[in-house]
Amino acid sequence: MILAFNRIDQLENLDRAPNVTIIDLHNNKLVLLPDELVELKKLKTLKVSNNDLSDLNPRLALLQNLVRIAIEGNPLKCIKTTLRGSGAEPLKAYLKLRLSENEISKDEIN
């Protein structure tokens, strides 16, 4: 799903696309990513660079197939600048630290 450069400020109805593997929303106006995003178990690529995101849902770390994440150009106050361009694995490792043991265990069961 490529929706870059469309001035999108919110994303809805992701539950209607459970098999999506690529979401490209760079250069939009997103302030928040929907919670449904973490339910997209087949997601491999997430590009949300150059939006207005101030945080990421730490549950993104539990998406095992997610191997490419682009988040540069967002005012992400909770993520160090060095992590923003370091790739999916270091970013997911950091996000996982923000999860409780209960959230991690619950996801492993599903």
Q: What number is the average pLDDT over the span 105-110? A: 62
**What sign does the dihedral 70-73-78-81 (CA atoms) show?**
positive
What the chain holds in terms of domains, given with CATH numbers, is 14-109 (3.80.10.10)
| CA separation for the pair 79, 69 (Å, rounded) | 13
Which is more confident, 107 or 88? 88
Q: What is the pLDDT of residues 51-86, one digit of tens each?
A: 999 999 999 999 999 999 999 999 998 888 888 888
Q: What is the model's pLDDT at position 106?
A: 66
Give the count of beta carbons closer than 10 Å to the beta carbon of residue 69.
Answer: 23
